[in-house]
């Protein structure tokens, strides 16, 4: 990945983290008194998750969860910078992971506020991660793996011979 694409990716990650953290600040200030019922399948209800996805692993120390999350996020970032992963999905996953990590470091838990009643309460960063994983899976299963990116780039620049 060239330096311009790297800067663009980092800018998107920063913007997505800002959006997530802003919604968590808003939720903490606004939803502390009572949940808010919205039309549709999602309500707003403040919750704190000291575990990982779906409230799992609440007995694991936050520092260990943080270390594991940062290790995975950095591995995905490195792979994206070396053009071994799709940039869009990697950006979403990294932004979600880092936003939840920042929240966990600040309070020891992650603020969740989107409540369905039939699914664990979640936040915007969780949407980033889930969407990124789904997008990556779709990309991986629909991509043409018969031609390597190096060959495609080389053949695209060659002029047909007449």
User: Residue 99 falls within a domain, yes or no?
Assistant: yes
Is the Cβ–Cβ distance between 113 and 20 less than 8 Å?
no
User: Residue 113 falls within a domain, yes or no?
Assistant: yes
User: Residue 24 falls within a domain, yes or no?
Assistant: yes
pTM comes to 0.82
Count of structural domains within the chain: 1
pLDDT, tens digit (0-9, with 9 covering 90-100), for 86-129:
999 999 999 999 999 999 998 888 999 999 988 889 999 999 99
The residues facing 49 across adjacent strands are 110
CA angle 70, 73, 79 (to 5 degrees): 140
Domain range enclosing 18 = 3-141
User: Residue 91 falls within a domain, yes or no?
Assistant: yes
What is the pLDDT confidence band of residue 144, given thresholds at 50, 70 and 90?
low
User: Residue 115 falls within a domain, yes or no?
Assistant: yes
User: Residue 160 falls within a domain, yes or no?
Assistant: no
User: Residue 18 falls within a domain, yes or no?
Assistant: yes
**What pLDDT is recorded for position 131?**
97
- Catalytic residue numbers read 112, 126
User: Residue 148 falls within a domain, yes or no?
Assistant: no
């Amino acid at each position: 990945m060239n330096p311009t694409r790297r800067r663009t990716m980092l800018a998107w990650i920063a913007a997505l983290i800002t959006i997530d953290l802003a919604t968590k600040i808003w939720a903490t200030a606004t939803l502390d008194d009572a949940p808010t019922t919205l039309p549709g399948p999602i309500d707003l209800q403040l919750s704190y998750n000291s575990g990982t996805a779906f409230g799992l692993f609440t007995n694991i120390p936050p520092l260990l969860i943080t270390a594991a999350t940062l290790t995975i996020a950095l591995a995905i970032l490195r792979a994206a910078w070396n053009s071994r992963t799709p940039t869009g999905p990697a950006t979403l996953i990294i932004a979600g992971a880092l936003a939840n990590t920042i929240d966990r470091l600040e309070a020891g838990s992650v603020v969740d506020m989107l409540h369905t009643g039939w699914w664990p309460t979640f936040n915007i960063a969780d949407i980033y991660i889930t969407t990124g994983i789904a997008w990556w899976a779709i990309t991986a299963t629909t991509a043409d793996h018969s031609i390597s990116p190096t060959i495609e780039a080389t053949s695209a620049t060659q002029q047909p011979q007449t």
